[in-house]
Amino acid sequence: MRVPFYMQIRQYIMDHIQQGKWKPNDKIPSENELAEKFQVSRITVKKALDALVEEGIIYRIQGRGSFVAKKEDSEHIIYPNNVSQQNSSKLIACIIPRLNSQFITIMMSEIEKLLAQHGYRVILCQTYDSQQLETQILKEVLRLGVDGLIIYPAEGETYNEEILKLTIEKFPLVLIDRYFRGIGANSVCTDNVLGAYEATKHLLELGHTKIGIVSSIPEGTTSIEDRIKGFEKALTEYNIPIDHRLYLLDLHLTLEEHDHINKDKIKNFLSNHRDITALFLVNNGLTVIEAALEMGYTIPQDLSMIMFDDYEFSHLHKVPPTCIRQQETLLAQEAVKLMISTIENPLQKRQQIFVPPKLIVRSSTDVCQTSTNQHVD
């Protein structure tokens, strides 16, 4: 993903200041000079300079131009060599979409426990999958003087300017569960391609060839996009044609008020695709199982299902689901390890860490009974 021009200009100015090429009270190039150098409009340059003025990095004098601020006027600027354990507030902000699943709860609990062992306290904030709220929270916790950020990005989010800015400035930051394509930020994620591949392979080895896939909207959420990629990779390796008619990819997020809408979509999808003998559930797994049972399907005899993610007491469910279980504890350990390492050395090379998930076979998958599902409501 291309970095916006105004961010490139901003980083160019920051680099010159941090490297000592431009010292306090030095005049920086004019808007016209920067516009010509970067081949952009003055409006783009002005946006970059306005951001730097707001952060206290530069100041303007009407009719004279823009100048580098004095050190005491810009102490809040995030410079790589400013992070030290001696001045540390020992505070980490964890920003998550919502605390509504076993996966997130276990992972956050482990992160809090491990950070406490390193002497850090945790601020936990929920964005409810709102990028606007995520940006607002980021600014608020930075004003509190946190030493680092662990961020579980909002669903559907492809890019966040604040996160890009912090990454460029080498602020200690780790993304979990998802990452942003084109932004070289630290991240710790489940290997979603591998997990989806193993899930689909499990169904294929049971003899299923008409396999549907059910998901919320994938665009902008790397975890979902990667699971679809893994699903298609397995089909291709087994020489099964990819049939997009067997894709249902527009379910809502897992909220109670959307359950009836999701169930209607699922029931309509199953009614229109009687030849499906198995489903790979990217998310919203329980809702799909409930909808199928309400239609009179017997699982797994009529329809095998495998879901990504486990849930609490799943083994006690009417149909204990076969699933791909993410290793929440290991994800938390890797995230904290990378967080501490980045605080101690903000200039280190950024890392993308992928943790393999586990296949857990229960009662919702079985050998394919027939090539065509003859079930009637």
d(CA 263, CA 246): 16
341 is written with which tokens?
Answer: 């390492």
Whether residue 198 is predicted with pLDDT greater than 90 in this model: the reply is yes
pLDDT of residue 342: 92
Beta bridge partners of 133: none
pLDDT recorded at residue 256: 59
Its pTM stands at: 0.74
Residue 28 is given by DSSP the state P
The CA-based dihedral angle spanning residues 19, 25, 29, 34, taken in that order and rounded to the nearest 10 degrees: 70
Q: In whole angstroms, what is the distance from residue 205 CA to residue 45 CA?
A: 58
Q: Which of 125-139, 180-194, 243-257, 267-281 has the lowest mean pLDDT?
A: 243-257
Answer whether residue 225 shows pLDDT above 90: yes
Give buried/exposed letters for 231-268 (b at 16+ CB in 10 A, else e): bbbbbeeeebeeeeebbbeebebbeeebbeebbebbbe
Tell me the pLDDT band of 375, cut-offs 50, 70 and 90. Answer: very low
Name the more confident of 161 and 237.
237
Helix (H, G, I), strand (E, B) or coil at 326: coil
pLDDT mean over 101-127: 94
27 DSSP assignment = B
Dihedral-angle region of residue 65 (phi above 0 means left; psi in -120 to 50 means alpha; beta otherwise): left
- How does pLDDT run across 302-346, given as a tens digit for each residue? 999 999 999 878 878 889 999 999 999 999 999 999 999 998 888
Q: What residue ranges define each of the domains in the chain, with the CATH number in brackets?
A: 5-73 (1.10.10.10), 80-190+328-357 (3.40.50.2300), 192-326 (3.40.50.2300)
Buried b (16+ CB within 10 A) or exposed e, 149-158: bbbbbbbebb
Amino acid 356: pLDDT: 98
For the chain, what is the total number of helices (H) and then of strands (E)?
A: 11, 14
Q: Considering the chain, what is the average pLDDT of its residues? A: 87
